Every structure is written in C-alpha cells, then in structure tokens.
Amino acid sequence: MTMTMSLGSYEFEWFPDRWTIPKAEKFSARVKTYSSAAFISFGVTIVGKEILIEWDWMPEDQFSEIDAIVQENIEKVWVLGNGDAYNVNVVSFDGEYFETTAYNFAYRRNCKLLLMIMSVNNAYS
C-alpha cells in the first residue's frame, strides 16, 4: 500500500516523518478534596484528540500550501492512506526557514502541524 496523507484537497508532497496515532483516548478530570478525591470520566472518544504531524524537512512549496489551508481557518478533512478520515481544525503550524547554498531550492525544517479531531468522517471509508 502506498502511504498518502491529505488535508482538505491538498495531498502532502512529502510524507510526514512522525505523527500522533489517531485513536480514541479516555478524557477525565481529577480533583483532590480536603478529605478525599473526585474523579470524573467523560468516556473514551477521539473527539478533541490533538494530532501532532512533524516533518524534519519540507519543500517551501508544501509549506506554503499547508499555510494557505491554515489561513482559511475552516474545518478540513484529514485523510490517511488507509482510508481513515477525520474532520479537523488546524490548531497551529510552524517551521524554520532554511535556504540551501548548493541548490536553488528553499526548505523549511522542524515543521509541526497540530490538528484537533472534531469528528470521524465516514464518507472516505
């Protein structure tokens, strides 16, 4: 299977080096009281899960494409190569500018895209 990943209509030119596994997790809160403790569980869900996607290096063109998606400031569909799809909001996106001297090509390095899952998108499965 060829691995692909897309955000909105943009398929990533360079595949990410690392990303958080999109799986449901238990959301809870704990509070210590004077004589005891309180524990509140909101159940197991993927909604609200933050996904960190990282690239060690990325072409400037890809950085610009993803940044344009960020600037739109609307919910997008994040699709993985295995067919899993999620409706997400972009929380943040950043990367350091790095210009090579041997080639006439600009890169970004240490790029990090943070997404928050809003819901599972069943239209892609």
Q: What CATH number is associated with residue 21?
A: 2.40.30
Residue 85 has a pLDDT of 95
**pLDDT > 60? residue 125:** no
Residue 102 has a pLDDT of 61
Q: In terms of pTM, does the model score above 0.75?
A: yes
**pLDDT > 90? residue 96:** no
Q: What angle do CA 113, 100, 9 make, to 5 degrees?
A: 35
**pLDDT > 80? residue 105:** no
Q: What is the token pair recorded at 34? A: 């004077």
**pLDDT > 80? residue 3:** no
Residue 1 has a pLDDT of 44
For the chain, the domain total comes to 1
Beta bridge partners of 45: 25
- In whole angstroms, give the CA distance from residue 80 to residue 32: 40
Which domain does 99 fall in, by range? 5-124
